[in-house]
Amino acid sequence: MRPPPLWLPSLLFCGLGATMSLPDSFSQLAAPLNPKLHLYNEEQILTWEPSPSSNDARPVVYQVEYSYIDGTWYRLQRLNCTDIAETKCDFTGGGRLKGFTRSLSVFLRVRAKQGNRTSDWVTLDPFLHYENVTVGPPKNISVTPGKDSLVLHFSPPFNVDQGATFQYLVHYWEKTGTQQVEGPFKSNSIVLGNLKPFRVYCLQTEAQLILKNKNIRPHGLLSNVSCHETTADASTRLPPVILIPVGIFTLLLVLTGACFILFLRYQSRLKYWFQAPPNIPEQIKEYLKDPDQFILEALDKDSSPKDDSWDSVSIISSPEKD
């Protein structure tokens, strides 16, 4: 058997060295998944799903960076969004820092880190707060019933800078009627007039964001439904001091009329109910006490003797004259 060529060991060594120098496909850490940005009123919150687990037992942390249009990336150290185990970064929770500038486009990116291993950066689409925010309903809503009206007071969903403002719409309807919309209003104090007195109206309020270029954002979220009863105008309303006697007098009139109608309807029956019972003559009562006594004798006994006595009658005649 011939010995192997002298060049074969060196070839095997070179091949092994090349294999050892190949990068480990598992050394690259998996990137975070499905990053999402939540923009509601003043809230600016970035969330993501954790990186897929690996055989490495060391903890995985995340890093978040931001950039403006200049392309320079900055860490969010003041918000504690560097090397965090939580899969969320709240940009509005940093004390005096109330999120990113609302009139500039912002870029965000996040990556995972485990020991000396890092994942690729996952970059989100740029956002502009005023263009992408979801506007909530007005806050601190109070409704006061007025004279055939409802008076609304509220505060804006959130504070805006000089580049934006709010306008408001009021959706209202009678409890059994169709919905109507009033507005837009610039003021946060609104009077809904020309309503029917003593009727229940339900309403909802809505805020719309208007940018300085007069671009009106889509409709905001509606407030919860609240229902209120209107009052009457002062000219058609009597004071309580007069209402009490008028109510008593009206009640008496109604009762009197009802009694009169009942009397006319049941007149014969009422006479029958209220007529005096028949009296039995004394002679009959005596006879009933002693039936053996003849009733004629009892009647003669009770009759007055003066009625049956006569004086003597004398006939006096005078001679006729010639």
Read off the DSSP letter of residue 262: H
Residue 250 corresponds to which tokens in the numbers above?
């009206």
- Reported in sequence order, the residue ranges of the chain that DSSP labels E, i.e. its strands, are 33-40, 43-49, 61-67, 73-75, 82-84, 88-90, 107-114, 117-118, 122-123, 139-146, 149-155, 164-174, 180-185, 189-192, 200-211, 226-229
Lowest mean per-residue pLDDT among 149-163, 276-290, 294-308: 294-308
What pTM was computed for the model? Answer: 0.61
Helix, strand, or coil here: 199? Answer: coil
Highest mean pLDDT among 56-60, 112-116, 267-271 belongs to: 112-116
| pLDDT class of 53 with cuts at 50, 70, 90 | confident
Q: Which amino acid is at 268?
A: S
Backbone angles phi, psi at 148, to 5 degrees: 55, 35
CATH code: domain 33-131 is 2.60.40.10
Could you give the CA distance from residue 267 to residue 221 in angstroms, rounded to a whole number? Answer: 69
109-113, 161-165, 168-172, 213-217: the lowest-pLDDT one: 213-217
pLDDT at 43 over 60: yes
Helix, strand, coil percentages for the chain (3-state, nearest 5) = 25, 30, 45
**DSSP secondary structure, 6-33, as one string:** THHHHHHHHHHHHHHHSPPTTSSPPPPE
**Tens digit of each residue's pLDDT (9 = 90 or more) over 124-164:** 999 989 889 999 999 999 999 988 899 999 999 999 888 88
Q: Buried b / exposed e across 21-59, counting CB within 10 Å, b at 16+?
A: eeeeeeeebbbbeebebebebbbbbbbbeebeeeeeeee
pLDDT of residue 98: 64
Q: If you compute the radius of gyration of the chain from its CA atoms, what whole number of angstroms results?
A: 54
Are the beta carbons of 124 and 209 closer than 8 angstroms?
no
Rounded distance, CA 87 to CA 85, Å? 7
What is the CATH code of the structural domain delimited by 136-236?
2.60.40.10
Q: Which range has the worst mean pLDDT, 14-23, 62-71, 93-102, 305-314?
A: 14-23
Among 181, 232, 226, smallest CA distance to 208 is for 181
Who contacts 215 (Cβ-Cβ below 8 Å, separation ≥6)?
Answer: none
* Residue 27, Ramachandran bin (φ over 0: left; ψ between -120 and 50: alpha; else beta): alpha
| Alpha-carbon 91 to chain mean position | 32
Q: What is the pLDDT averaged over residues 268-285?
A: 68
| Structural contact between residues 200 and 226, judged by C-beta atoms closer than 8 angstroms | no
Phi-psi region of 318 (alpha: psi -120 to 50; beta: other; left: phi over 0): beta
